[in-house]
Structure 1
Amino acid sequence: MPSKLGNITFYADDPPRLARFWSGVFGYPPVEWGEPLKSELLDAGLTEADLAARGVAEDPDGVGPRLFFHHASGPKQGRNRLHLDISATPGRSPSRDELEAEKDRLVALGAEVVRLVDQDWGPWPELYYQLRDPDGNEFCLQ
């Protein structure tokens, strides 16, 4: 049986904040360590500090990706070796207006625009925004 993706894990300066940002990107409800989950986690041996050093963005229907955030041991340095590509209009190419509207929504959530790319890659047009999340991780909106 082939493997399946479990989590996409990020090291973060502020895991709960980054979890809230990415929950907003994907339209997931924010996951808080409220009751009864908090008691269950504490009973399992985690501490309050452990909970403060973690966050999760999770599709309640289990369809979309699950993102896990863990406290980083130091500041981010350099460019990501991997990044996420986010579709502004899943299943089809967005119009420029749709791309702009989604970019504006992500900026309101805390993203930072790095640049707009409008070029051809061989016979295929490319139109996307390179952005950074609140922790400085690069991602693209296409």
Structure 2
Amino acid sequence: MAKELQVVVDCRDPGAQAAFWAEVLGYALEDAGTGDVEGDWASIVAPDGPRVLFQRVPELKYGKNRVHLDVRAGGPRGTPKAVRVPLVDAEVVRLVALGATHMRTTDERDDYFGVLRDPEGNEFCVC
């Protein structure tokens, strides 16, 4: 039997991180009756995706993520690279306007993706 997945992100400002990622993913901030957006945690939800919980921790992020998220903006797997490139580029521009930092874009023979950081420095890819 499949298990429900919840992604948990340690952070300094759960409310700000939840608001940023809700915009990135098109998720909704969870109902105020079940979330504590101003306190130690906040969460975002979507009908067809995992719940993402942001929990306050005292320490800063150090080093590279051991796990990162891929935001698939270039269409489903198998979409031709020529179609994916402008979609990925447009999403990178949108996310930078929301507060992400664009680190680099990788353009390989069969792959194209942007590497970004969220407002607290967590790496993620737009592919």
TM-score over 0.5 (shorter chain): yes
Please point out which of 99, 103, 112 is paired with 1:114. Answer: 103
Q: 2:88 aligns with which of 99, 120, 124?
A: 99
In 2: Cα distance, 1:6 partner to 1:98 partner? 27
Structure 1's unaligned 5+ residue stretches are 42-47
Deviations 1:58-111 (A, max 9, x none): 11xx21121100001201010000001110134253432211111111111111
Q: Which has the larger radius of gyration?
A: 1
Structure 1 runs of 4+ aligned residues shifted over 2 Å read 29-33, 92-95
Aligned residues with identical type, % of pairs = 35
Matched with 1:80 is 65
Alignment of 1:1-142 (within 5 A): 1-2=1-2, 4-31=3-30, 33=32, 37=33, 52-59=39-46, 62-92=47-77, 93=79, 94-120=83-109, 125-142=110-127
For 1:81 and 1:51, locate their aligned partners in 2 and report how far apart those are by CA, in whole Å.
28
SS in 2 for 1:19: helix
TM-score (ref. length: structure 1): 0.77
